[in-house]
Structure 1
């Protein structure tokens, strides 16, 4: 795990944010623009406001200005309640995405000239998911509704993603009312592809349950505690094959910690029997790494 106070860690976060912002801006100017898509969250709302201003008011408002205004209050809430550096890096992602989207040279935009809405929705969703993953690997977010969801989750211990999904549905309904229904349907494919890409590439918000049968339960528990800061519960039993006493440790850890932890346990106890289960739902106290 990187030292959060090291220069390399800071440089890596900056590079990931810049790469994520560039990729998202490229996606907005190519696949999203070509397919007339409406992404979820504040990005989709920004595009919707921008198009309404142009179509009904004849005013061309820069993408970045609308995005910055929409993110101002959520960013202030995040800075106060979630974390200073987390918000600063997330804000940097928002700023760079807005500026890159407005300033990206036409020569790069013209690389993608698609006339197929389905291809735009699928590949645009993949690029969008990859851009968000880069941002998450930098321990930041792409702003907007992510600020709101994390704030509600950490302050009130409630899952806010259903509310975010409802907000996205409202944006899509407005787009369907104002523009064309097929744009909305392709936008749903775009959002679904984004979600699937995120699920496959980033596992930071997923958990895994470990069932470990070992003769070195105390040492294995200390290892789990040291590597993940998670605890474990032990159960005593009888191994029927050898009719010998055994202990089973039950622990839930973050999905991204599993491979390194299992390898360390096997080095400590080569005879350990480890079953890794996907955790669908978790209630109760679970250690979350601090945002700062």
Structure 2
């Protein structure tokens, strides 16, 4: 009974965290579109950019003013359906909420340009866009569209795939260049590149870190590590060359977002432990990752 209450409390806490992240990310992304993106006539990547591209094309060539919310929600219907099937229901549900919130906020928030300098717009707009996506991903949500592709590939390949999605976005931006001029398209590519690098740098869920742990309390540590992280641990016996003491080397790979907690746990169990942290460029084989559900 107590366990069930604790579990419900944790689930509720996760839900509140996700909703707060979705709300904050939607607000940042919407303000960014109305302050930086519109000021520089940029076309950001993904379905956000595609929505703006279609909205602008309809106005320029047909004289029809289409609401951003209608286009963005319609375009994201198919990716959202695929997300439910391929990624997870909770992740996709939070993403759908963000898509809807962002769509209507863009229509409601007035245009408020901060600067018209195209380079400043590209760089700072890209930073804000990247921050918004990182916050959404922390809350186990996304801005939809190509973000679904990036998350799916990252889960499948066990490594970040945002630069691959950046390549897809460049194709969209080149199409925009053909319609509205390549100068705006090139600034849009800078915007998207900056945004992608922010995500790669700060979204750590898809990054892997190798830990080499030298300890004299191997049996205690290995059990606690496997229980806490759900990752496997390899134990190698050895001897310290300085004091000639028997030691064990524990080798394990964890997510970059888990490193701080794991190091804290290990040091609490063995105050004399030695830990070497190495970034893993890629891994092959089974690797546990907390599901997005």
TM value normalised by structure 2: 0.91
Q: Deviations over 1:224-277 (max 9, x none)?
A: 212211111111222111222221011110111111111111111111110001
What residue number does 1:177 align with? Answer: 178
Structure 2 gaps, min length 5: 1-6
- Distance in 2 (CA, whole Å) between partners of 1:194 and 1:3 is 36
Change in 2 beyond 3 A, CA 1:157/1:251: closer
Change in 2 beyond 3 A, CA 1:280/1:166: same
Q: Deviations over 1:29-76 (max 9, x none)?
A: 110111111111111111111111111111111111111111111111
- Distance in 2 (CA, whole Å) between partners of 1:266 and 1:159 is 29
Q: Deviations over 1:103-151 (max 9, x none)?
A: 11x2xx32x3312011111111111111111101111111111223333
What residue number does 1:288 align with? Answer: 289
1:208 aligns with 2:209: yes
What residue number does 1:57 align with? Answer: 62
What does residue range 80-99 of structure 1 map to in structure 2 within 5 Å? Answer: 80-99=85-104
- Distance in 2 (CA, whole Å) between partners of 1:191 and 1:4 is 38
Which of 6, 10, 15 is the equivalent residue of 2:20?
15
Secondary structure at the aligned position of 1:247 is classed as: strand
Change in 2 beyond 3 A, CA 1:4/1:123: farther
- Distance in 2 (CA, whole Å) between partners of 1:39 and 1:135 is 17
What does residue range 61-72 of structure 1 map to in structure 2 within 5 Å? Answer: 61-72=66-77
- Distance in 1 (CA, whole Å) between partners of 2:202 and 2:157 is 28
- Distance in 2 (CA, whole Å) between partners of 1:26 and 1:162 is 25
- Matched length: 287
- Distance in 1 (CA, whole Å) between partners of 2:156 and 2:260 is 31
What residue number does 1:148 align with? Answer: 149
What residue number does 2:244 align with? Answer: 243
Change in 2 beyond 3 A, CA 1:37/1:206: same
What does residue range 1-292 of structure 1 map to in structure 2 within 5 Å? Answer: 5-104=10-109, 106=110, 109-110=111-112, 112-152=113-153, 154=155, 161=162, 164-292=165-293
Matched-pair contact (CA < 8 Å) for 1:3–1:9:
no
Structure 1 gaps, min length 5: none
TM value normalised by structure 1: 0.91
